[in-house]
Amino acid sequence: MLSRDVEVKGSIKFQKELMIDGKVEGEINAGGVLTIGENAEIRAEIKTKSIIVFGKVQGNITVGERCELNSRSTLQGDLKAARLVIEEGATFVGKSEVTSGVRTGSNSRPEIVRNDEPAAPLKAAFRRSRLAFPSQSVAKSGPAKLGVECPHCGFKQSEYAAAKSTMCRQCGGSFSPAASKGREIKLRTAGETQPAPAASDHPPSMLKKLEGFWGEEGSSTVRCFECGATQEVIAAASSTICPKCSAHVDLRDYKITTNFSRAIRTHGEVHVTPRGGLSSSQIVCRSALIEGKLRGDLHCSGTCTVNSSGKVAGRVSAAHVLVEAKSEVQFFRRVRAKSVEIRGHMTGEVIAESAVVIHRNGSLNGNVTAKSISVEKGGMFSGQLVIGSSSLTQAELLPAKPPSTTPNFETPGFVQRLLQEVVSEFHGRFAKS
């Protein structure tokens, strides 16, 4: 595998399988399966047994068996293959020639498959001009597929059952579909119809209807990230479209098990496992659980729970920040929240709109600006404390009192100084007389 930070200029040769997610310029000759990753940029002449394209390719491709263009792929160049699969959304600019190649069988004919629909046979031959479909299509059964889940980010996608390896369309990670459990998806031919559900002998009882009513999932209100419009969605939804600006709104939960650097904007939960690392420039979520490393800026509309030990280089803002027991975390930047609750050990500056609570055996080492602070018995706080708004200055917090002109007889030494002044004035008048 050539990762996204690898650049190759020259010739590449291999025999079995290779996945390229970086930049290649030159020539690629292979006798196996070539996978072009989502982040790949290829400028080369490619000759291989079979190829799956997720990224950008500029150059001619000659394939002995199968060529598959994913929905996000881009191909600029001529294409020659025994079988061509183009998903809906793919970009292809060039000439295509589909020939028999190395395929065997008396009835084997080239086909174009779009969006996983049943294939239709082509006319006898292509003369390097354009794809031509016959007037009457003959339906063929498509290959079986599996619904698989990425072990890195949890994204669900469909893959062919015979595939040995694939790449996640969300995070770009490579994994084996056989290791992910999924249900098999069989494609029906054009002549087949979906079997009707078996009719029940008895109508559903009132108890069954009530069970179905109470079993329905509830709804929640989400806000658009672009225009701020609100709408109600069902709890099982993974995404929605804003009715006002038509922007996409993500509702999925993210589980980070490895290093992840893409931006996340979701109304779901973000969970960074102890072996995970989140270095995205922008993370916006409903709630977050940090057990690994956090290097990016995190904003939670709900609770951000920190259950790790280490240093946090990014900014953290949330409605409520909770530092769990056994945590020993150091924040390099200010932590902004409506309320902060500390059960472990925390180092950093805190700005809270309401209260900061330090529980027993918890500690906070840093400056605090809040409306109130509570340190329970056994807790420890070390730093400067400002009770009030963060915009107040020291003079506004502690206004200076004007000097009092009223004599205070309780001041130490005041009576002695008064007697000395009276005696000195008396002697002066006596000397003049």
pLDDT per position as a tens digit, 116-158: 444 334 334 434 434 434 444 344 445 677 788 888 777 888 8
The residue among 34, 30, 28 whose CA lies nearest residue 1 is 34
The order of strands in the sheet holding 50-53 is: 17-20, 33-36, 50-53, 66-69, 83-86, 111-114, 120-121
pLDDT per position as a tens digit, 345-395: 999 999 999 999 999 999 999 999 988 888 888 889 988 888 765 444 444
What are φ and ψ of residue 132, in 5° steps? -125, 130
Among 12-21, 287-296, 340-349, 386-395, the range scoring the smallest mean pLDDT is 386-395
Residue 6: pLDDT band with limits 50, 70, 90: confident
Specify the higher pLDDT residue, 124 or 49.
49
Q: How is the chain split into domains, by residue range?
A: 7-126+137-142, 147-185, 226-392
Q: Tell the burial category of 65 from Cβ atoms under 10 Å away from its Cβ (0-12, 13-18, 19+).
A: middle
For residue 65, the model assigns a pLDDT of 87
- The tally of CA atoms less than 13 A away on the side-chain side of residue 265 is 11
CA triple 268-271-275, angle to 5 deg: 155
pLDDT at 15 over 60: yes
pLDDT at 280 over 90: no
Mean of the per-residue pLDDT values of the chain: 76
Specify the higher pLDDT residue, 423 or 107.
423
For residue 321, the model assigns a pLDDT of 95
| Amino acid present at 285 | C
Among 99-113, 137-151, 252-266, the range scoring the smallest mean pLDDT is 99-113
Residue 262: pLDDT band with limits 50, 70, 90: confident
What's the sign of the alpha-carbon dihedral 8, 9, 15, 17?
positive
Specify the higher pLDDT residue, 433 or 293.
293
pLDDT at 242 over 50: yes
Region of 342 please: left (phi>0), alpha (psi -120 to 50) or beta. Answer: beta
| Residues paired with residue 352 on neighbouring β-strands, in sequence order | 337
What are φ and ψ of residue 273, in 5° steps? -70, 170
pLDDT per position as a tens digit, 178-207: 665 444 444 444 455 555 544 445 555 555
Q: Tell the burial category of 271 from Cβ atoms under 10 Å away from its Cβ (0-12, 13-18, 19+).
A: buried
Using CA atoms, how far apart are residues 362 and 65, in angstroms rounded to an integer? 64
pLDDT per position as a tens digit, 304-329: 999 998 899 888 999 999 999 989 99
Best mean pLDDT range from 236-250, 255-269, 335-349: 335-349
Q: Is the distance from CB of 251 to CB of 240 less than 8 angstroms?
A: yes
Q: Tell the burial category of 385 from Cβ atoms under 10 Å away from its Cβ (0-12, 13-18, 19+).
A: exposed
Using CA atoms, how far apart are residues 107 and 65, in angstroms rounded to an integer? 16
Residues 20-33 have a mean pLDDT of 88
Using CA atoms, how far apart are residues 105 and 103, in angstroms rounded to an integer? 7
Sequence-distant (≥ 6) Cβ neighbours of residue 179 within 8 angstroms:
151
In angstroms, the Cα distances linking 107 to 49, 116, 121, 331 are 21, 21, 10, 67
Q: Tell the burial category of 422 from Cβ atoms under 10 Å away from its Cβ (0-12, 13-18, 19+).
A: exposed
What are φ and ψ of residue 414, in 5° steps? -70, -40
